[in-house]
Amino acid sequence: MITRESRLFLRRWLHNPMQVGAIAPSSRRLADAIAGQVPIDSPGWVIELGGGTGVVTDALLRRGLAPARLVVIERDPLLHRHLVERFPHVRAILGDAAKLAEALRPLGIRPPAKGAPAKGQGTGNGAGNGASTGRVAAIISGLPLLSFPRPLQDEIVRGAFAFLAPGAPLLQFTYGPMSPIARDRLKIEGRVARRVIGNLPPASIWVYRRPGEWSNGDLLKAGSGKAEAHKAVSRKDKVEPPKAAAIKARRR
């Protein structure tokens, strides 16, 4: 059964394939995996770039993010209208992710002053969680960055990091095998947080932060797969070949 969202997404893809980047919305499994990487207990706004039909928006709300904390930026007028109708309690803004400061200005959200201490350090997911101070806790990008020209990619990523509080992540999913953001060129660090094989096509969720802003928990989480692989190799190396084991047994 083709949903209303799928039909709308396909129509917009036919209208502008380079801007939409895919012929179908992200799967619920991928959206839930993305939402699972958002630190909703950290105070401040959560901003979604390229809301599309609202698959990730819905996953964030189902996970428990307060609607009053969520801002969704969508430049396509039809998709924006759909988001407004589907999520009346979420701030859906018709705007361009490449001009993030302009899009967020009406909400009073501005980049933090350099050297200013982080504000809004309270916990919780309701009022008084730091959103009123303009703090941004996370940015999720559903934009097909790899289909954009390099200058536009850089403008979007730099614009996003200008708003992120210290330690706050930029999340980006991709269907390709490599990082969709040029980490060295933009002087940021990124790691694969999840791979969603069940999505069609399979997708990877990347988490990006500034250098030096990764917590021990983030490092352990990102390195757990490598650690397990290393343990498996170590265990394998410790297993003696049958011939060597037989020789040892005869010597005994």
Predicted TM-score (pTM) of this structure: 0.76
pLDDT tens-digit profile of 219-243? 555 544 344 333 333 333 443 444 4
Buried b (16+ CB within 10 A) or exposed e, 156-175: bbebbbebbbebbbbbbbbb
Mean pLDDT of 168-173: 97
Looking at per-residue confidence, does 128 or 65 come out higher?
65
Please give the residue that has the higher pLDDT: either 146 or 14: 146
Q: Is the pLDDT of residue 107 over 50?
A: yes
* Helices 28-35 + 55-63 axis angle, to 10: 50
Q: pLDDT band at 200, cuts 50/70/90?
A: confident
Confidence label for 5 from pLDDT (cuts 50, 70 and 90): low
Q: What is the pLDDT of residue 199?
A: 84
State the CB neighbour count (10 A cutoff) for residue 107: 14
Nearest-angstrom CA–CA distance, 6 and 173: 19
pLDDT tens string 17-46: 545 445 445 789 999 999 999 999 999 999
Q: Tell me how far the alpha carbon of residue 247 is from its chain's centroid.
A: 55
Q: What is the per-residue pLDDT for 37?
A: 97
